[in-house]
Chains A and B, each alone.
Chain A
Amino acid sequence: GNSVTQMEGPVTLSEEAFLTINCTYTATGYPSLFWYVQYPGEGLQLLLKATKADDKGSNKGFEATYRKETTSFHLEKGSVQVSDSAVYFCACWSNDYKLSFGAGTTVTVRA
């Protein structure tokens, strides 16, 4: 089935720094791609998604562009805040109708 690979963490940044978390996918066709975020002590919640090639998903200052040429869906934010400290998961739909998650990247933003 389809799968994603995301950069390992942890990532530690200062406030207002630029954040990039790399995610690449292996898939048959062009499945929808997602970024989920998990704040401490909570469940995962959808951050953004893109349903077809060249789509850009955006939310809360985060962006990710579905790039079929490089099979990537990197997450970016131009100026992070302490409240962005969380675990970020890249995910894609698999051919067997399951959501395949990456290993997660822990991001810590320091004031």
Chain B
Amino acid sequence: DAGVIQSPRHEVTEMGQEVTLRCKPISGHDYLFWYRQTMMRGLELLIYFNNNVPIDDSGMPEDRFSAKMPNASFSTLKIQPSEPRDSAVYFCASSLRTGGTDTQYFGPGTRLTVL
């Protein structure tokens, strides 16, 4: 398997623009997670899905952020409008299950820079 795939790898945009990050989880994995990594706050869980359904979005910072999973092989994280403080590395991860012994497999991340 190719692992978790994220696109784009790098995104530079201007404040106020809409940004869409994409993720393809590992085939057969029922859980998908979106994380944000910054120097100041470390690794934060934004939202996770089970069988394409959002289970916990308590980590989504504000209404400007939204995530969808229209099918088992694709998810998007959208920021509209973007702000400079959204600059971070965004990771997508997937796992067979959640809890217990389960391993999360991370994608390479999308480095977002909002000018």
Q: Which of A34, A44, A98, A103 contacts B91 (CB 8 A)?
A: A44
Chain B contacts with A in 55-109, Cβ cutoff 8 A: 55-56, 91, 93, 98-101, 103-109
Q: Which residues of A have CB within 8 Å of B106?
A: 36, 43-45
Q: Which of B98, B100, B109 contacts A43 (CB 8 A)?
A: B109
Number of interface residues of B (CB under 8 A): 21
Interchain nearest-CB distance for B59 vs A (Å): 9
Contacts A42-B108, A43-B91, A43-B106; A32 near B100 (Cβ below 8 A): yes
Contacts A43-B91, A44-B91, A104-B43; A96 near B104 (Cβ below 8 A): no
Q: Whole-angstrom distance between the alpha carbons of A32 and B104 in the complex?
A: 13
**A46 in the interface (beta carbon within 8 A):** yes
Interchain nearest-CB distance for B114 vs A (Å): 20
Q: Which residues of B have CB within 8 Å of A42?
A: 108-109
Q: Which residues of A have CB within 8 Å of B42?
A: 101-104
Contact present for A99 and B56 (CB under 8 Å): no
Q: Whole-angstrom distance between the alpha carbons of A101 and B101 in the complex?
A: 15
Contact present for B103 and A46 (CB under 8 Å): yes
* Interface 0/1 of A48-64, CB less than 8 Å to B: 01010000000000000
Q: Which residues of A have CB within 8 Å of B45?
A: 98-99
Chain A contacts with B in 14-56, Cβ cutoff 8 A: 32, 34, 36, 41-46, 49, 51
Q: Which residues of A have CB within 8 Å of B34?
A: none
Given contacts A43-B107, A44-B43, A97-B98, 13 further A-B contacts (CB under 8 A): A32-B101, A34-B103, A41-B108, A42-B109, A43-B4, A43-B93, A45-B105, A96-B56, A98-B45, A98-B48, A98-B56, A98-B98, A99-B33
What 7 A-B pairs have minimum CB-CB distances, sorted nearest first?
A: A43-B106, A44-B106, A101-B43, A97-B99, A51-B101, A103-B42, A46-B103
